[in-house]
Structure 1
Amino acid sequence: MPYAIANDKTRLYFEEAGSGTPIIFLHEFAADHTNWEPQMRYFSRGHRCIAYSARGYAPSDVPASAEDYSYRHFYTDALAVLDHLSIARAHFVGLSMGSYSSLQVALHAPERMLSMTLAGVGSGSSLENLDTFRKTCVETAEQFEKIGSVEVTKVTREAPGRIPFLVKDPRGHADFYAALARHDSKGSANTMRGFQAGRPSVYTMADAIGRATTPALIICGDEDDACVEPSLFLKKHLPASGLTFFPKSGHVLNLEEPALFNEIVERFIALVEANRWGARDPRSVLAG
C-alpha cells in the first residue's frame, strides 16, 4: 500500500491516477479517499490526481491521542502527501473539512497551491453558536467511543444537510453511510474532538483571508444551511474568488451532483491555468 509520512510519522494512505498538472482531493469528516472516485476517474483523463485518507481514517494510521488531530495536523498532512510525491504545487479540491484544510494551506503555504476549490465550507463557523457547536462535537466524539460508528451513522445520515442527497439519490446515500459505518470509531472521535471542536471559525480570520491571493472557487448547496453564510463571507473576503450555488443540493456536493461538480471545477481549473482567473476588478464593487 502507498503511504506518505506526516511530520509526526503518521502514515497517510493515498491513491493516484493520470498524468499532467496535479490535483489533490481532501475529503470531508464523513468520507475518506474513496468518496472522490467520480472525480478521480474524470479528472485523471487530463491531470495527475491524488486522493488520500486523512489521519484517523483507515487505511491511514489512527493516532491514539486527540492532540494529534488539530487543524494544523490536517493541513500539513496534505503538504506531506505532496512532498512524498515530489509535487511542488497542485490544485486543491476540498469538501467541508477538506475545504477548511485547503483554506489553511492558502493562509500558511500559498506557494504550494495553484488554486483551491472550497466546497461545502464553513459549517460550525457561527460565532454566536460556536460554543454550542463545539459542545456538540465533543458529545458526538463520546458517542463514537460509547456506541461505535455503526450506531452513530444511523443518526448522522439524517442530518439536515444530508437530506437532499437522500431525496435525490437514495442508493448513493445508502452506500455513503454504509462506508461511514465502517470508519474507525477512535479516529472519528478524535477528529471530532481535535479538528472539528478545535478549529478557529473562518469569521475570526478575515484579515488573513483578505490577503490570500490564491484563485478560489467556492461551491455551496443551496439547502446546506450551515454553509451558506460562510460561503458568502469567503466570497466577500477572498480577493480572487468566485462563488456558485448548486440548486436543490446539500452538503455532499461531489456525490450528489458529480457531473455538475466536475464540469464547474474543470472550467475553473482551465481558467486558472490560462491565467484568466484573477482578483475581482474593483470597478465591479458597489460603492457603499
Structure 2
Amino acid sequence: MPHVTTDDGVKLYFEEVGEGTPIVFVHEYAGDWRSWEPQMRHFGRRYRCITYCARGYPPSDVPESPEAYSQDRARDDIRSVLDGLGIDAAHIVGLSMGGFATLHFGFRYPDRALSLTVAGCGYGAQADKREQFRKETEATAARIAAEGMAVVGKSYAIGPTRVQFQAKDPRGWKEFETQLCEHSTLGSANTMRGVQARRPSLYDLVDEMQALTVPTLIVNGDEDEPCLDPGNFMKRNIPSSALSVLPKTGHTMNLEEPALFNAVVEDFLHTVESGRWTLRDPRSVSGGIVTPAEEK
C-alpha cells in the first residue's frame, strides 16, 4: 500500500490521481480518504489530486496513545504528505477537522500552500460553547471506547448537521454511514481526545489570522450552525479570505452538494492561479456604513 511516513514514524496511507498542480484533500473526523471521491474524480481531470487517511484511520497507522494525536500533529501530517511525495507547495482543501488542520498549516507553513480551502471549520470555537464542546467530545470518546464505532457511528451519522445529507441523498448518506462505522474504535476515540477536544479556539488565533496572506476560501453550509459564526469571524480577520455559504446544506457539504462544492472551489483555484486573488480592500473595513470614513 502506498504510504508516507511522518516525523514521529506514523505511516499515512494515500491515494492520488491526475497530473498538474497538486491539491491535497484533508478529511473530516467522520470521513477518511474515501470521503473525497467526488472531488478526486472531478479535479483529477486537471490537477494532481492527493487524498490520505489521517493517523488513527486505517489503512494508516493507529497509534495506541492519545498523546500521539493533536492539532499540531494533524497540521504537520499535511507537511509529511507533501514531503513524502516531493511536493514543494500545493492547494490544501480541508473539511471540518481537516479544515482546522488546513488553517493551522497555513499559519505555520504559508510557503507550502498555494491556497487554503477551509470548509466546515468552527465546531466548539465560541467562548460560550467551549465547555459544552469539551463535555460532548469527552463523552463521545468514552462511548466510542466502550461501545465501538460500529455502534456509535450510526448515531454520529444522524447528528443535527448530517440529517440534511440524509434527507437529500439517502443512498449517498448510507454509504457515508457505512464507511464511518468501519473506522477504528481506538483511532476514533484517540482522535476525539487528542485532536478534537484539545484544539485551540479559533477566537484565540486572531493574530495568526490577521497575518495570513495565503489565498483562503472559507466554505460553510447555511444549516451547519456551529460553523456559521466562526466562519464570519475568520472572514473578518483573514485579509486574504472570502466566504462562501452553500444554501440548505449541512456539514458534510462536499458529499451532500458535490457539484456546488466543486464549482465554488474550482472558481477559487482558477482565480488564485490567474493571479487575481487579492487582499481585502482596506476601504471596505474603514468603519463607514454608507459613505467613506473620511466623509463622515
Aligned twin of 1:97: 97
Alignment pair present for 1:273 and 2:273? yes
Partner Cα separation in structure 2 for residue 171 and residue 282 of structure 1: 46
Between stretches 183-192 and 139-148, larger displacement belongs to 139-148
Q: TM-score if structure 2 supplies the norm length? A: 0.96
Aligned twin of 1:60: 60
Equivalent AA in structure 2 for residue 108 of structure 1: R
Partner Cα separation in structure 1 for residue 269 and residue 90 of structure 2: 11
- 1:2 Cα deviation (Å)? 0.4
Alignment pair present for 1:225 and 2:252? no
| Alpha-carbon RMSD | 0.8
Equivalences for 1:74-93 in 2 at 5 Å?
A: 74-93=74-93
- 1:230 Cα deviation (Å)? 0.5
Between stretches 274-283 and 51-60, larger displacement belongs to 274-283
Partner Cα separation in structure 2 for residue 278 and residue 94 of structure 1: 21
- 1:206 Cα deviation (Å)? 0.7
Aligned twin of 1:128: 128
Alignment pair present for 1:40 and 2:33? no
Aligned twin of 2:171: 171
Partner Cα separation in structure 2 for residue 92 and residue 57 of structure 1: 19
Listed one character per residue, the Cα deviations across residues 5-47 of structure 1 (whole Å, up to 9, x for unaligned) are 0110000000010010100000000000011011001101111
Partner Cα separation in structure 2 for residue 158 and residue 89 of structure 1: 36
Partner Cα separation in structure 2 for residue 11 and residue 134 of structure 1: 29
Listed one character per residue, the Cα deviations across residues 102-129 of structure 1 (whole Å, up to 9, x for unaligned) are 0001111111000001111111111112
Equivalent AA in structure 1 for residue 48 of structure 2: R
Equivalent AA in structure 1 for residue 228 of structure 2: V
3-state SS, counterpart of residue 121 of structure 1: coil
- 1:285 Cα deviation (Å)? 2.5
Percent of pairs identical after alignment? Answer: 50
Between stretches 38-47 and 277-286, larger displacement belongs to 277-286
Equivalences for 1:1-288 in 2 at 5 Å?
A: 1-285=1-285, 287=287
Partner Cα separation in structure 2 for residue 59 and residue 151 of structure 1: 20
Listed one character per residue, the Cα deviations across residues 141-178 of structure 1 (whole Å, up to 9, x for unaligned) are 11111000011012112211101111111111111011
Partner Cα separation in structure 2 for residue 219 and residue 90 of structure 1: 19
Structure 1, unaligned runs of 5 or more:
none
- 1:286 Cα deviation (Å)? 5.1
Partner Cα separation in structure 2 for residue 131 and residue 225 of structure 1: 17
Instruction: Pick the structure with greater CA Rg.
Output: 2
Q: TM-score if structure 1 supplies the norm length? A: 0.99
Aligned twin of 2:291: none
- 1:132 Cα deviation (Å)? 2.0
Partner Cα separation in structure 1 for residue 135 and residue 272 of structure 2: 40
Partner Cα separation in structure 1 for residue 246 and residue 61 of structure 2: 34
3-state SS, counterpart of residue 148 of structure 2: helix
